[in-house]
Amino acid sequence: NPEVFILSIESSCDDTAAAILQNDKVLSNVVANQLIHTQYGGVVPELASRAHQQNIVPVVAAALDKANIKKEQLSAIAFTQGPGLMGSLLVGSSFAKSLALALQIPLIAVNHMQAHVLAHFIDEEGYEKPNFPFLALTISGGHTQILKVDHFFEMTVIGETTDDAVGEAFDKSAKILGLPYPGGPLIDKYAKLGNPKAFAFTKPKVPGLNFSFSGLKTAILYFIQKKKLENPNFVEENLTDICASIQYTIIEILMDKLKLAVNETGITQITIGGGVSANSGIRNRLKEAENKYGWKTFIPKFEYTTDNAAMIGIVGYQKFLTQKFETSAVVSKARIQL
Ligand code: KG4
Ligand code: ZN
């Protein structure tokens, strides 16, 4: 088998990322985070596009440099086609098209959501890959999905959020507590020191495998407002218990749906991806579930769970093997069905 070198580019939201893969191994994985959004408490699409435009060339150059690969050695270029912010997607796709044209190599379009799932197939020493079929839980600031994955490109969404994503539930709760954006990691940090049963928040009643998080956010808002009337220092005095209770409720919601998905499909291999999979509480609960329910869980390296280009590259490699190439007329898509 000849060596395949793929340059992959991810620019769907607020991270500009490029990676070089040699077959299914990652040689470099570079991400430029956009810190500009912090002061606005969320991603500002217009600012994201501009930052991508500034970052894309240096990020790709750094990926080639770190991999010690010359652009003439590349076999193909893979890019994120969608879903995502249109202005952000356009920067990555236009750059990928131009470079593929200049180098006269194939262009490969990648679905970002498939990439989160297939990141588990990156070859890493000591990391065991899941076997088909498996269930994939994708949880981030933009996504909340459970998928049934039968093969590389045969996957079905069996549950998803009807409103906010899990990451938004963390970030919006954090905002209510006066914590800076993105608040997810801070809630996790304080939760470790608090009592998860200190305060009870009702879980939403959503039928089947779908999720809803906007009600929880409102419940937390009203709870905090009420408590602050009684004691203006309520949040400061109870921060760790509040964070632990919020995190506990969110994890209960996720675990309830995973248990239901396992019951409905009979599949007990579970992978997780997306930035929220960094959450220590979720990681512990999934590990616990291995003994408690006999599941087998797969949690990849953190750099492959948040938005990154290596996951785009592994999908690019799979598509390269089956020659799934695009013409230069391929268009970006803000929404794509799996
Ligand atoms: O995958 P990601 O980097 O970007 C996308 O949203 O696609 O995910 C970012 C999300 C944010 O909402 C952030 O608060 C959340 O992941 N997050 C966490 C933790 N680390 C990141 N949420 C809870 N606990 C964490 N440790
Ligand atoms: Zn993502």
Q: List residues bridging with 80 in a β-sheet.
A: 110
3-class SS letters over 34-69: CHHHHHHCCCCHHHHHHHHHHHHHHHHHHHHHHHCC
Distance CA(316)–CA(26), nearest Å, equals 12
Q: Are 182 and 232 in contact (CB under 8 A)?
A: no
Q: Whose CA is nearest to atom 24 of ligand 1?
A: 279
Q: What is the pLDDT of residues 166-201, one digit of tens each?
A: 999 999 999 999 999 899 999 999 999 999 999 999
Ligand nearest to the CA of 38: 1
Question: Which tokens is 245 given?
Answer: 């209770």
333 lies in a domain? no
139 is in an annotated binding site: yes
Which residues contact ligand 1 via a Cβ below 6 A?
13, 140-142, 167, 170-171, 182, 184-185, 188, 274-276, 278-279, 306-307
Q: Rounded to whole angstroms, what are the CA distances from 182 to 47, 81, 169, 185?
A: 17, 25, 11, 7
Co-location of 249 and 288 in the same domain: yes
pLDDT tens sequence across 17-54: 999 999 999 999 999 988 888 888 788 899 999 999 99
219 and 90 share one domain: no
User: Cis (ω within 30 of 0) for the bond into 180?
Assistant: no
Please give the distance, rounded to the nearest whole angstrom, from the Cα atom of residue 142 to the centre of ligand 1.
9
Residues of the domain holding 241: 130-299
* Residue 17: CATH number of its domain: 3.30.420.40
pTM attached to this predicted model:
0.94
In the sheet with 15-22, reading across from the earlier edge strand, the strands are: 25-33, 15-22, 5-10, 76-82, 107-111
pLDDT digits (tens, 9 = 90+) for 269-313: 999 999 999 999 999 999 999 999 999 999 999 999 999 999 999
Q: Does position 57 have pLDDT exceeding 70, yes or no?
A: yes
- Roughly what angle, to the nearest 10 degrees, separates helices 234-265 and 280-293? 40
Same domain assignment for residues 73 and 13 = yes
- Residue 314 neighbours by CB distance under 10 Å: 29
142 assigned ligand-binding residue:
yes
Counting ligands in written order, the one closest to the CA of 309 is 2
Residue 322 assigned ligand-binding role? no
* Strands, E assignment, the chain: 5-10, 15-22, 25-33, 76-82, 107-111, 134-139, 144-151, 154-160, 269-273, 296-298
For residue 183, the model assigns a pLDDT of 95
Number of folded domains in the chain? 2
State pLDDT tens for residues 75-118.
999 999 999 999 999 999 999 999 999 999 999 999 999 999 99
142 and 213 co-located in one domain: yes
Q: Is 264 helix (H, G, I), strand (E, B) or coil?
A: helix
Q: At what angle do helices 214-230 and 166-176 cross, to 10 degrees?
A: 10
Residue nearest ligand 1's atom 10 by CA: 141
Shared domain for 134 and 104, answered yes or no, is no
User: In whole numbers, what is the pLDDT of the chain averaged over residues?
Assistant: 96
What is the number of the ligand closest to the CA of 164?
A: 1
Residues 89 and 144 in one domain: no
The confidence score (pLDDT) of residue 218 equals 96
Is the ipTM higher than 0.90? The answer is yes
Give nearest CA residue, ligand 1 atom 5: 141
**329, part of any domain:** no
Same domain? 94 vs 162: no
Q: Which residues pair with 146 in a beta bridge?
A: 137, 159
Indicate the pairing of strand 25-33 with strand 15-22. Answer: antiparallel
pLDDT of residue 270: 98
293 found inside a domain: yes
pLDDT value of residue 1: 65
Residue of 140, 166, 186, 192 best suited for mutating to test ligand 1, as the one with most atoms within 8 Å of CB: 140
**Ligand 2 center–CA 305 separation, angstroms:** 8
* 136 CA → ligand 2 middle, Å: 14
